[in-house]
Structure 1
Amino acid sequence: MLKEERFQLILTQLGQDQKVHLTDLSHVLKVSEDTVRRDIKELADQGLLKSVRGGAVPHSPGPHRFKDRVEYGNDQKQIIANKALRFLKDGQVAIFDGGTSAMLIAQALPKDIQLTVVTNSFPIASILEEHEKVEVLFAGGRLLKNSFVTIGNETIQYFRKFRADICFSGICSIHPELGVTGPDYEESEVKRAMVESSREIIALSTLEKLGTAEAYYVCPTNQLTTIITDQPDNLDAFEIYKVMGIKMV
């Protein structure tokens, strides 16, 4: 079997099962595990999958730059934002990260709700500037231009000053075993500080991001209290998260 044929079979299997194992692929492709490992590394170098111990999982689909993400999957993210509103109550301190789903929540906030919002997102701070009853606390730091958020030690230390009631985190990747991950190291470090500073952690994730992984670790999946998706809450794919004690919405 040619290398290109092996690549296609690996990617096809990955698309069907959301994971592949070296041993299984070795039998199917009739090559050694070392050959499969080299194939997976080459595919990972091309950005087509995420190599993990013993095999591979998919990368999160969709663009990573904020400007590209704004229009990507907007209908699904609007469903997520509308579901998220039910978790907000007067008097809460809420952390909003720089995700586009979190931005849609900010846009949809009722005019009479009274909140304190802590964020490192320039777009969200701008949206909430005109909301009379929402106090906005902005985390300073260095600008990550791809995402229009602040990052760095100053940003991390700012979030550590809070014990927020709730954190809305736009998630790039959630995997039952590999945890919550992201594509940028410094932004993932900030997200970790947000999670550690919040009582309730709500992940905002389209269905396609579940079972995927990126390079930089944020937190274990079971640290999430809720995952809000664009789908009904009774899908079979959600059972593994429900077993962890995570509420699926």
Structure 2
Amino acid sequence: MLKEDRHNIIVEETVTNGSSSFQSLSKKLAVSEDTIRRDIKELDNKGLLRAVRGGAVSVSRIPHHYRDRENTDIDQKKIIAQKAVSLIKSGQVLFFDGGTSVLELAKILPLDLKVTIITNSFPVANAIEDHPTAELIFLGGKLNKTSFATYGNETLQGIAKFKVDIYFLGICSIAPDNLSCKDLEDAEIKLAMMRHSVKTVGLCTSDKINSESPYFIAQTDRMHTLITENSKGTPGTKALTKLGIEIL
């Protein structure tokens, strides 16, 4: 088998399953584990997957710009939002970040729900501004024109003033050992919101499970609940359940 063909199979196997191991790939391709290890290192250098201990995981292929993400997988995000809204009770104080699944949640808040929502996201703020009973606190700072959200010291200082009931975390990439995203500034904001929340609820479509992005946020087990559009039979959720994370 040609090296290029072997690389294509390794990438396909990793993307399909979310991860792959030296052992399974060695058996499938009838080559040594040392050969697979070298292949995975090359593919990691090309950005086609991410090498981890014992094998590889897929890299997030979610579009980076907000405009490209906001209408992607919209039906799945609406299912996620419907599940998430059931966790909210009147009187709570909440963090909403700039995730597009979080935006769908902001759009369907019941009109009689009396909550305080703290956000750094302009789209989320726009969705809530006409809500009759929800109080909105917008976190200032520099504008990230890719995510339409604020970041920087002013934003972080604003977050530090609160201790909220629930943080609804828009997930870019989640693996059994870490949460990650595509912007360093976004990673800093998400970690700060986690630190200043009693409970963190992650929202993500199932294709983000078992993927990684360049910037580390926190260990995955710091999250309390994960909501996807398909909690049963989703690849990777079993490993997250073992961490004590509730799957909805």
Fold shared per TM-score above 0.5: yes
Amino acid paired to 1:198: S
CA distance in 2, matches of 1:59, 1:236: 15
**3-state SS of the aligned residue for 1:87?**
coil
CA distance in 1, matches of 2:42, 2:90: 51
CA distance in 2, matches of 1:239, 1:52: 19
CA distance in 1, matches of 2:23, 2:242: 27
Asked if structure 2 preserves the Cα contact closer than 8 Å seen for 1:98 and 1:148, the reply is: yes
**3-state SS of the aligned residue for 2:154?**
helix
1:92 equivalent in alignment to 2:121: no
Asked if structure 2 preserves the Cα contact closer than 8 Å seen for 1:6 and 1:29, the reply is: no
**3-state SS of the aligned residue for 2:95?**
strand
**3-state SS of the aligned residue for 2:212?**
coil
CA distance in 1, matches of 2:11, 2:30: 13
- Paired residues, what number? 247
| Unmatched segments (≥5 aa) in structure 1 | none
| Unmatched segments (≥5 aa) in structure 2 | none
Amino acid paired to 1:63: P
Alignment of 1:25-44 (within 5 A): 25=25, 28=29, 30=31, 33=34, 36-44=36-44
Alpha-carbon deviations, 1:24-51, whole Å to 9, x = none? 5456453673x54453344334432122
Partner residue of 1:2?
Answer: 2
Deviation at 1:129, TM superposition (A): 1.2
CA distance in 1, matches of 2:61, 2:41: 19
**3-state SS of the aligned residue for 1:199?**
strand
CA distance in 2, matches of 1:74, 1:115: 25
Instruction: Give the aligned CA root-mean-square deviation in angstroms.
Output: 2.1
Moved more, 76-85 or 39-48: 39-48
Alignment of 1:1-249 (within 5 A): 1-22=1-22, 25=25, 28=29, 30=31, 33=34, 36-177=36-177, 179-233=178-232, 237-249=236-248
Deviation at 1:208, TM superposition (A): 1.3
**3-state SS of the aligned residue for 2:200?**
strand
Using a 3 Å threshold, how does the CA distance of structure 1 residues 31 and 228 change in structure 2: closer, same or farther? same
Deviation at 1:142, TM superposition (A): 1.3
Amino acid paired to 1:30: V
**3-state SS of the aligned residue for 1:58?**
strand
Amino acid paired to 1:121: S
**3-state SS of the aligned residue for 1:83?**
helix
Alpha-carbon deviations, 1:158-202, whole Å to 9, x = none? 11221000010110111112x111111111111000111101100
Alpha-carbon deviations, 1:7-36, whole Å to 9, x = none? 112113213442233465456453673x54
Using a 3 Å threshold, how does the CA distance of structure 1 residues 174 and 151 change in structure 2: closer, same or farther? same
Alpha-carbon deviations, 1:41-70, whole Å to 9, x = none? 443344321222443200123212100001
Amino acid paired to 2:213: E
Asked if structure 1 preserves the Cα contact closer than 8 Å seen for 2:18 and 2:236, the reply is: no
CA distance in 1, matches of 2:203, 2:168: 7
Q: Provide the TM-score with structure 2 as the length reference.
A: 0.91
